[in-house]
Amino acid sequence: MIELIDVHKSYTKDKETIKGVSFEVHEGEIFGLLGPNGAGKTTLMQMIATLMKPTSGQILIDGLSADKNLLDIHRKIGFLTNEIKLDPMSTPNALFEFFAKLYDIPDSELRDRRDESFARFGISPFADKRFKELSTGMKQKISIAISLIHNPPVIIFDEPTNGLDILTSKQVTDYLKELRTKGHAIILSTHIFSVAEELCDNIAMLIDGSIVAQGTVDELIALAKVNTFEEAFFNIYVAHHKE
Amino acid sequence: MTGKRGIKTLIGSFFRKRGQSGAMASNASFLVSLAFVAALFCVGVSWLLWRFPYHLFSDEVYNIVVVNAPESFVEFNEQTQPYRDQRAADYGDPKDVIHNFSNIYAFQYSYDGYGWTEFIYKETDALYDFVSFSKWMHQNDAYLTVVFPKDFDEQVNNRFNGLTDEKPEILTYYRADSLEYASMKNGFIEEYLAYYQSDIRADFGFKITSMTDSQLEEKPLVTSENNYGLKAIRESLSRTFIPILLFIILLYSSMSIGTNVIAGQKERGTFTGILLTPLPRYAIILGYLGGIVLKTLIPAISVATFSALLMGCFDIGAILALYFYIIVLEIFIASITILISVINDTVISAQTAFLPIFLTLVAVCVTCIQTVSERDDFYMFLPVHGQFFGIGDVLMSKPHVPGLLISSLATLILSAVIILITVRLLHSERYTVSIDSVDAKAVKRRLEGGKPTLWETVNKKYDDANFIFNEAIYPLVILSVYQLLAVIPVVVSYMRKAEYSAYIQGLADVTTVEEVMNKTFEVFSIFFKDPLFLSLMTLGYALIILTYFIHAKRIFKLKGFKDMAAVCGYPLGNIKHILSHYCLGFLFGFLMMTCTVAIMFFTGQITFSGFTLSFSGIGVFIFNLLMWFPQGASEEVMFRGYMIRSFNRRFKPVVGIIFSSLVFSAFHSLNNGYTPLASVNLVLIAVLFALIYLLTGDIWMTSAMHTAWNLSQGNIYGLQVSGNDAANSVVTAIYDKNASSLITGGAFGPEGGLATTAVATVCLIIVTILLVVKTRKAKKLS
């Protein structure tokens, strides 16, 4: 579903932020992108979500490239990141309706979808409150509900559980697992090991703009010749990070 | 269609109770609105104060003031008087024969009020005594003043006796506050004055009836006093105040709504979500455009409807035309707003960027006020001008249909182009992604850190010939080319005017070089009152700066615009830094000039007249103000920002400072009234500015000082700026009879006098101390 072929990105001529990244994410798979702050995770995610163009290389979503089929890709992806915010003065109901219309969801379907989605995350009691008055967890749940409003086959989540309490966090991870069983291709960036360990079928470690290791949790542990995933990350990081 | 529904949704979001554009009014927008309310209030009050006490109910304006009437004219009037009396007796009530220009012996004119024309004879020695003319017209209900030369009869005799070819000159001044007065004036000239001339000719045995024997000068006369009467109030309300009010409503509300939409959403982080929807970019732009237009139209349409009814315009067609003008204008303004909003990342920066456009459009309005009395139909077809005049015409119940159609078409085409550009920009990630990654921050830092390090290593390899060309000849070439380009169109338009022939005739008497120079400056002082010249000069100065940027790009082998600007002394990036330097510089420049003026005032060299800025002169005044900004900046780039910096590639800084200061001084040596003391002063000021450049590391401050110095000198205190007369000033300095040109600088203006020397020297000492302290600190730190 998602295919990256030798993707490079540089903001300036003399420095590359992403130095040739290639990987594939299939239907029914959760792909984890793990790396320290500043490794280029967000840049990579933004490129996959078509917000930025790679300097060279190709990104294909379901075989489509953003150069030619930008709007078709927009119909296929759901992107969640901390940098996309929702209007603080609006209410969940109004926001849902607004985006549903922009995604051209028929009015007949709109209400059912909203009820279902709000019920799942327990948003319904807050549906008419202003967005800015809600708790962090509730805001994040609403953001998730709205980013998946058009039921996209490809889901791109940048740090979805960042700053959430354990209960909300579990709600989110459970939902992601459910989406996986429904056959969505999910790409997830995080720096929280437990989330990566629990959720991801495939993990790529991004350090200084290149993928230094890739595989399942067990494969990575084996590669680093240690016992836990956390230790594996540190070993690989020390081995590849040049300062 | 996704597009259609999306556009509707986006438009709808403007009107939702707690919608996307939920007002997040910033302090800046509040202050701007406050300033405008205050300005409007002042305009209103001064208008009332000027006009209310006079003749509120007198519209009976039909008399003619004749100044220095020659005997032949008085005689002619006496001869024709019986015919007029007869006609008055025939008709009794002049109402029955209004606007009858045909019968010269019984002519009468009226403007709504009715009455028979009377001649009021006055005498004066001054042919250009506008104040008295205006007063006489006002006192005698006259719409026209005809000024004869004192020896008119004698001149006529000489001409017919073949002693001279010169035609005697008759000046006419008519009230300019209504188009009707202009047509009444035409009637008088074409009928009565022409018959008078043929009457004179008949005395000499000629029989030609046309205006060929006198040079006729027709001038509109607008002063604060002559604008009176209910009809005139309606006219000035409909043609001036309501259009301006509508413009300001449209501009201000589009600015506050439009900048809040995309730039505001970028700031709040909500824009990316909309970009990710499968909505085409054009639909996003059109949706927001529609929202801005509809939301802005609510106040504009209600004010327009109210004013139309107030002005007694009850015609449905006219009101619809009014709405049409407003809608088209709003589409134009909204598309500019959207463009600015897309380019900027925050509401504040978008509003700042909108400000120059706001001022430009307001300046256009002001030029419209000036030309309303004798406007060309051509203006009716232009964007913005067309709408301004169109609104006025509709409110006066005289819609101009071709103007409506053509100006609207032109405006809509222009808007479409702007919208297409905007859509194109929205495809670029530079304007859509809020780059927040660590690398991008590093990029930003690199650009902001473009402060010129003036103590760069000396590069001996720089080729000598290149060096001389680049640093010494280049500024001269650039300046002369652009100033020439600015002068040509003005000269061409000047050649079509009557003053031109007088000027050419005057050239015949010129013998010395000095007189030629004086003549040239005479012409330039006329040009300096011409908005066309001022705007071309403004453009020329801006182009000089741009050329320097490109030149720097070539010499220093740079890539980005920001680097080019930084090398020329304008590090971009840190807005706060720039603003604080610029504002401080402006204040310093103003204070320096004020000190200079204070010295001259307290030593009894000058006194001041009261407030001399006339209402009609405001347009030129604003153009003049606008010109000083790029003027100061361009000279700073040439002589400080670029020259000193590039000298430092070869020499020690002191060489650059001295050379640039000498060139700067020499540059002004061709100006009117240049003296050795002036050259010393200019060197002092140049060194002062150069040291400030070293102190601050940029020329933002010196540019502002330069601008503020010239601006306050010419347009606030009304003094000569380096030998040039400024057009309009807030007050006007009057030199005392015993004023010493050593102190005041004579014709060159204060820059040629000891007062400036004193102020510049004190400032120089202060700046030198600051620079020494700073260098010591830096040494200690290292």
Pairwise CB contact (< 8 Å): B278 & A72 = yes
Q: What share of chain B has pLDDT > 70, as a percent?
A: 73
For residue B331, the model assigns a pLDDT of 95
Least confident of A228-242, B486-500, B542-556: B486-500
Query: Of B37-41, B363-367, B528-532, which range is least confident?
Result: B37-41
- How far apart CA B431 and CA B367 sit, in angstroms, is 35
Question: pLDDT: is B677 or B96 the higher one?
Answer: B677
Which one of B20, B260, B437, B441 would you mutate to disrupt binding with A, by most A Cβ within 10 Å of its Cβ?
B437
Tell me if A88 and B440 make a contact (CB, 8 A cut-off): no
- Which candidate from A11, A74, A87 shows the least CB-CB separation from B277? A74
Q: Which of A43, A53, A89 sits opposite B437 (nearest CB)?
A: A43
Least confident of B93-102, B381-390, B415-424: B93-102
- Subunit contact A101:B275, Cβ cutoff 8 A: no
Which residues in chain A are contacts of B280 at CB distance < 8 A?
A: 71
Q: Is A171 on the interface with B (CB under 8 A)?
A: no
Question: Who among A83, A84, A87 is closest to B20 (CB)?
Answer: A87
In this predicted structure, the answer to whether residue B422 has a pLDDT above a threshold of 90 is: yes
- B18 to chain A: which residues are within 8 Å by CB? 89-91, 94, 130
Residue B664: closest CA among B656, B653, B672, B652:
B656
- Fill in the DSSP letter of residue B166: P
Question: Which residues are CB-neighbours of B376 under 8 A, at least 6 positions away?
Answer: none
Whether residue A51 contacts residue B433, with contact meaning beta carbons closer than 8 Å, is answered with yes
Query: How far A132 CA sits from the closest chain B CA (Å)?
Result: 12
pLDDT value at residue B570:
85
Compute the nearest-CA separation of A30 from chain B (Å): 22
- Of all residues in chain B, the one with the smallest CA distance to A129 is B18
Q: Is the pLDDT reported for residue B458 higher than 50?
A: no
Categorize the per-residue pLDDT at B417 as very low, low, confident or very high, splitting at 50, 70 and 90: very high
pLDDT of residue A38: 79
Q: What band does B25 get if pLDDT is binned at 50, 70 and 90?
A: very low
pLDDT of residue B224: 38
**B609-661 pLDDT, tens per residue?**
767 666 667 777 888 888 889 888 988 888 888 888 777 777 777 888 888 88
Task: Give the model's pLDDT for residue B430.
Answer: 74
What tokens appear for B175 in the block? 């009230």
Phi first, then psi: what are they for B142, rounded to 5°?
A: -105, 150
Q: Nearest by CB to B269, which of A84, A94, A130? A: A84
A91 vs B: CB within 8 A? yes
Domain A2-85+153-240 has CATH 3.40.50.300: yes
Q: Do the Cβ atoms of A51 and B432 come within 8 Å? A: yes
Which has more pLDDT, B376 or A159?
Answer: A159
pLDDT computed for residue B329 by the predictor: 94
**Which site among B16, B267, B277 would you substitute to test the A interface, given the most A Cβ atoms closer than 10 Å to its Cβ?**
B277
CB contact under 8 A, A15 and B279: no
- For residue B218, the model assigns a pLDDT of 60
Partners of residue B426 in chain A, C-beta under 8 Å: none
What is the average pLDDT across A126-132? 88
Nearest one of B411, B418, B421 to B327, comparing CA atoms: B411
Quick one: average pLDDT of B475-500? Answer: 72
Structure confidence at residue B414 (pLDDT): 94
Interval B201-218 mean pLDDT: 52
- Residue B499 CB partners (closer than 8 Å, separation 6+): B526
Q: Comparing B205 with B329, which gets the higher pLDDT?
A: B329
Please provide the average confidence, as pLDDT, over all residues in chain B: 75
Contact B19 A90 (CB under 8 A): yes
Are the beta carbons of B439 and A79 separated by less than 8 Å?
A: no
**Most A-contacting residue of B430, B433, B439, B558 (CB-CB within 10 A), to test interface:** B439
What the block records as the tokens of B212 is: 């060929």
What is residue B93's predicted lDDT score, i.e. its pLDDT?
57
Confidence band, pLDDT 50/70/90 cuts, at residue A4: very high
Of B146 and B474, more confident: B146
Tens-digit pLDDT profile for residues A55-93:
899 999 988 888 888 889 999 999 988 878 888 888 899
Percentage of residues of chain A with pLDDT beyond 90: 26
Is A94 in Cβ contact with B16 (below 8 Å)? Answer: yes
Question: Would the pLDDT of B208 be above 50?
Answer: no
Residue in B24, B274, B276 to test binding to A, most A beta-carbons within 10 Å: B276
d(CA B226, CA B224): 6
In chain B, what residues touch A104 (CB-CB under 8 Å)?
Answer: 2, 5-6, 278
Residues of chain B contacting A, Cβ within 8 Å: 2, 5-6, 8-10, 13, 16, 18-20, 22, 268-270, 272-280, 429, 432-440, 442-443, 446
User: Mean pLDDT, to the nearest integer, of A119-134?
Assistant: 88
**Neighbour count for residue B731 (Cβ, 10 Å):** 15
Nearest-by-CA chain B residue for A94: B19
Cβ contacts below 8 Å, chain A against chain B, sum to: 102
Is residue B423 pLDDT above 80, yes or no? yes
- A91: nearest CA partner in chain B: B18
B-chain residues near A71 (CB < 8 A): 2, 278-280
Nearest CA in chain B to A9: B439
Which residues on B lie below 8 Å from A40 (Cβ)? 437
Map out the domains of chain A as residue ranges: 2-85+153-240
How high is the mean pLDDT of chain A?
87
Lowest mean pLDDT, pick from B270-274, B314-318, B679-683 = B314-318
Long-range (24+ apart) CB contacts under 8 A made by A159-162 are A159/A81, A159/A82, A159/A189, A159/A190, A159/A191, A160/A80, A160/A188, A160/A190, A161/A190, A161/A192, A161/A195, A162/A82, A162/A190, A162/A192
The yes-or-no verdict on residue A149 having pLDDT over 60 is yes
Within an 8 Å CB–CB cutoff, is residue A89 touching chain B? yes
Establish if A202 touches chain B: CB-CB under 8 angstroms: no
Find the length of chain B: 782
Beta strands B142-147; B169-175: pairing state: antiparallel
Whether B443 and A79 lie within 8 Å, measured CB to CB: no
A109 interfaces chain B, CB cutoff of 8 Å = no
Cβ–Cβ gap B276/A38 under 8 Å: no
pLDDT over 70 (residue B437): no
CB contacts, 8 Å: B9 with chain A: 98, 101-102
Above 50 in pLDDT, residue B317? yes
Burial B107-118 (b: 16+ CB within 10 A, else e): bbbbbebbbbbe
Would the pLDDT of B499 be above 80?
no
Of A17, A86, A102, the CB nearest to B6: A102
Whether residue B53 is predicted with pLDDT greater than 70 in this model: the reply is no
pLDDT, position B60: 57
The reply to whether A5 touches chain B by the CB within 8 Å rule is no
Residues of chain B in contact with residue A134, where contact means CB-CB under 8 angstroms, are none
Q: In this model, does residue B489 exceed pLDDT 90? A: no
B439 closest CB neighbour out of A15, A52, A72: A15
Could you tell me if A40 lies within 8 Å of chain B, comparing CB atoms?
yes
**Chain B closest-CA separation from residue A228 CA (Å):** 30
Structure-token pair, residue B36: 């405008």
pLDDT in tens, B561-609: 777 888 788 888 778 888 888 999 999 999 999 999 888 888 878 877 7
Q: State which residue of chain B sits closest to A149, comparing Cα positions.
A: B277
Three-class SS of A8-39: EECCCCCCCCEEEEEEEECCCEEEEEECCCCC
Contact B272 A15 (CB under 8 A): no
- A189: contact with B, CB 8 A cutoff: no
Residue A201: what are its φ and ψ, rounded to 5°? -80, -25
Q: Is A76 in the B-facing interface, judged by CB distances under 8 Å?
A: no
Q: Which of A15, A83, A103 sits opposite B436 (nearest CB)?
A: A83
Of B276, B435, B446, the CB nearest to A74: B276
Average pLDDT value for residue range B468-473: 65
Is residue B212 scored above 70 in pLDDT? no
Whether residue B420 is predicted with pLDDT greater than 90 in this model: the reply is yes
**Residue of A102, A107, A139, A151 to mutate, interface with B, max B Cβ within 10 Å:** A102
Max Cα–Cα distance, chain A, nearest Å: 57
CB atoms within 10 A of CB B149: 17
